[in-house]
Amino acid sequence: MNFTVQESSALYGLLAETTSDVIIKTDLAGVIVHASPGIRKLGVQVRAEAGPHLLDLVAAQGRDAVSRALSAAIEGRQGAQWVEFPAVTPDARESWFEIRIRPLTEEGGAVYGVLAVMRSIDERRSLREQLFAATYTDPLTQLTNRAAFISMLEHMVAQGMEGCLAMFSIDFFRTINMKHGQTTGDEVLRVFADLLREMLRSDDIISRIGSERFAVLLPRTNTEQAQAICTRVVTTLADLRQKVGDSRLAITTSGSVARIADSMDSTIERAELALFCAKAKGRNRLEMEKPRRVSA
């Protein structure tokens, strides 16, 4: 690939950080006129000397961002930001790249095309997703953890979303641990997590928020609907002797339901108070939040 003096200058600026990037040159219409051979190694095929349009390499969900960067470069603005996008690849596998685009100018300053650097970021995105999962996932049950639960509840409150919060606590969990050992206790937690996944709706968000405590966000659900859903969880668990380790244990849970309203703290407080009442009344039951008193 031959470059003018201006192209070489732009190229060196783009490659200051790495030597493993893919170089793409387009005309003013955004049509690729040259691409370095590395583009094929990244799963993208340039089919001819004057190849496809740059945006033809970009999957639909990333096209707007890359299009804005391309337009800015064609207008003569220096693109300092890297733009991430999913690419269109021959095997239809989702593959992510980042691209930075700069204008190519003649001696008089007129723009005659753009020069882009593109690199694969699949590995970096994979590491980022793994870090996200480690930060917001409970490793034992693979449910979301308390941090994720708090974030999602805050979002629902801030957006004014209708719904309910349910809380569950496995009854006599400390006794199970002491009598049967922590390994059995861990298996009890996994069994209950699987039951919640099986019985709750796909839109419901299940989290483990403490040792033996679970929270469920039920979006677009009124208290009557939430009560029916959570009552089935409590009664189904009580009716089953769950296979845990080498034996079958009678596992029960206490539960509560509160409407998501006012604030995150208020919602959690009302659900926790109802859960305390369920335990105080003998466990293995569901309690609804107490109705508010109306001042005279």
Give the model's pLDDT for residue 109: 85
Q: Name the residue ranges covered by the structural domains of the chain.
A: 5-126, 137-288
What b/e readout covers 72-84, taking b as 16+ CB neighbours within 10 angstroms?
bbbeeeebeeebe
Question: pLDDT above 90 covers what percent of the chain?
Answer: 48
Cα maximum dimension of the chain: 85
- pLDDT score at 241: 74
Measured distance CA(76)–CA(72) in Å, rounded: 7
Sign of CA dihedral 24, 26, 32, 33: negative
Q: How far apart are CA 213 and CA 253, in angstroms?
A: 10
Rounded to an integer, the average pLDDT of 119-148 is 80
Pick the CATH number of 5-126 from 3.30.450.20, 3.30.870.10, 3.40.50.2300, 3.30.70.20: 3.30.450.20
> Among 26-30, 62-66, 248-252, 269-273, which range has the highest average pLDDT?
269-273
- 212 or 128, which is more confident: 212
Q: Minimal CA–CA distance to 234: which of 254, 215, 214?
A: 254
pLDDT digits (tens, 9 = 90+) for 233-246: 999 998 887 667 66
**Residue 163 near residue 220, CB atoms below 8 Å:** yes
119 near 39, Cβ under 8 Å?
no
Give the mean model confidence (pLDDT) for residues 254-281.
Answer: 96
Locate tokens 């005309």: which residue? 27
Which candidate in 17, 84, 129, 212 is catalytic? 212
Asked whether the domain spanning 137-288 has the same topology as the one spanning 5-126, the reply is no
pLDDT digits (tens, 9 = 90+) for 103-118: 998 888 899 999 988 8
213: number of Cβ within 10 Å: 18
Query: Cα(238)–Cα(260) distance, rounded to whole angstroms?
Result: 27
Digit-coded pLDDT (tens) for 31-54: 888 887 777 665 555 555 556 889
Q: Which helix (H) or strand (E) holds 131?
A: helix 122-136
Three-state DSSP class for 138? coil
CATH number of 137-288: 3.30.70.270
**271, 166 Cβ separation under 8 angstroms:** yes
C-alpha distances (whole Å) from 135 to each of 51, 138, 150, 196, 277 are 43, 8, 13, 22, 32
Quote the pLDDT of residue 132: 64
Based on the residue annotation, tell me whether 212 is a catalytic residue of this protein. Answer: yes
